[in-house]
Amino acid sequence: MIVELQGLHVFGYHGVAEDEQRLGQMFLFDVQLEVGDRGANDVLADAIDYEDVARAIREVSTAERFDLLEALASRTADTLMERFAPERLKLRVRKPQVKPAGMTVDYSAVTIERP
């Protein structure tokens, strides 16, 4: 069984540019937690509550400031592994407000997987 959140919007002050650090911006988190049969018995206490997952992601994003998406993704993945102990985790952090010189892009992203 996989618990997923796709496109979780979390505001943060991450990035190298001064404007990113001062003004902040929205980041999008996609997470998949492979949890075995946890929750199959229809008991919330035995499951991974996706609201708790969302809160954990927001806590990481607001507790620290990261220059690089790689660091934000890594710290978030570590936190989710520690708190929820999934069998596997896949996390993607997207940064939609990217402006490469003279080009257009929908977003930049980092994907991290943990066994």
In tens, the pLDDT along 59-87 reads 999 999 999 999 999 999 999 999 999 99
| Alpha-carbon separation of residue 86 from 21, 42, 47, 75, 101 (angstroms) | 32, 18, 11, 16, 40
Of the two residues 99 and 74, the one the predictor is more confident about is 74
Of 95, 102, 106, 112, the catalytic one is 95
Q: What is the mean pLDDT of residues 85-94?
A: 98
pLDDT of 89 higher than 90: yes
CA-to-CA dists, residue 84 to 27, 73, 96, angstroms:
22, 16, 28
Give the residue among 69, 57, 59, 63 at the shortest CA–CA distance from 96.
69
Sign of CA dihedral 12, 14, 20, 22: positive
Give the domain ranges of the chain: 2-114
Q: Is 90 a catalytic residue?
A: no
Cα 87-4-107 angle, rounded to 5 deg: 115
pTM above 0.75?
Answer: yes
Q: Does the pLDDT of residue 19 top 90, yes or no?
A: no
pLDDT at res. 26? 94
- Domain 2-114 coded CATH 3.30.1130.10: yes
